[in-house]
């Protein structure tokens, strides 16, 4: 009986340790992906349209991201809104000069020259872009 009790305690402790680790990993992931910082500076659309080089275009869900330079990575986050789970795309950009976020026929133009990084999320058709510290992929 003592062996069974000891085994049950060991399993319970192991389960708690794994849950704490999973929560810590999730907290780190959430912190990495949050859009938090000053708004991205706008770009005059004519500047982007007059570029001699074609931008890299990446569709992600219902959003089209076009950038000149830099790299990008995307994922989805899930937040609670009014008791319901809301899933939305979020992308991080490492040093693009210019960035355009398109949803349908609407375009948002951003100037990120100077090696700035950005995080962009799109919720309920609304684009949010923030300048963030440089990061490594």
Give me 91's structure tokens.
């992308």
Q: What is the pLDDT of residues 47-84, one digit of tens each?
A: 999 999 999 999 999 999 999 999 999 999 888 878 88
In a domain, 78, yes or no: yes
In a domain, 25, yes or no: no
Phi, psi of 12 (to 5 degrees): -60, -45
Where do the DSSP E strands lie in the chain? Answer: 56-60, 63-68, 71-81, 84-94, 98-103, 106-111, 117-123, 126-132
pLDDT, residue 23, reads: 59
In a domain, 42, yes or no: yes
Give me 88's structure tokens.
């939305």
pLDDT, residue 8, reads: 57
Q: What is the mean pLDDT of residues 110-119?
A: 96
Would you place residue 5 in the very low, low, confident or very high pLDDT band (cuts 50, 70, 90)? low
Residue 46: give the domain boundaries. 34-132
Would you place residue 104 in the very low, low, confident or very high pLDDT band (cuts 50, 70, 90)? very high
Diameter over CA atoms, the chain: 79
What is residue 39's three-state secondary structure? strand
In the chain, the number of structural domains is 1
In a domain, 90, yes or no: yes
Q: Which residue is associated with the tokens 């609304």? A: 126
Would you place residue 12 in the very low, low, confident or very high pLDDT band (cuts 50, 70, 90)? low
In a domain, 18, yes or no: no
pLDDT, residue 83, reads: 82
In a domain, 4, yes or no: no
pLDDT, residue 34, reads: 78
d(CA 93, CA 70): 7
In a domain, 84, yes or no: yes
Q: Which residue is associated with the tokens 């500076």? A: 41
């Amino acid at each position: 009986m003592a062996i069974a009790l000891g085994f049950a305690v060991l399993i319970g402790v192991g389960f708690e340790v794994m849950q704490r680790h999973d929560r810590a990993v999730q907290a780190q992931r959430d912190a990495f992906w949050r859009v938090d910082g000053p708004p991205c500076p706008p770009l005059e659309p004519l500047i982007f349209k007059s570029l001699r080089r074609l931008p890299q275009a990446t569709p992600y869900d219902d959003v089209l991201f076009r950038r000149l330079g830099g790299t990008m990575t995307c994922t989805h986050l899930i937040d609670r809104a009014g008791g319901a789970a809301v899933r939305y795309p979020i992308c991080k950009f490492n040093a693009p000069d210019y960035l355009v976020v398109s949803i349908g026929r609407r375009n948002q133009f951003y100037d990120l020259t100077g090696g700035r990084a950005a995080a962009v999320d799109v919720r309920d058709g609304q684009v949010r872009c923030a300048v963030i510290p440089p990061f490594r992929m």
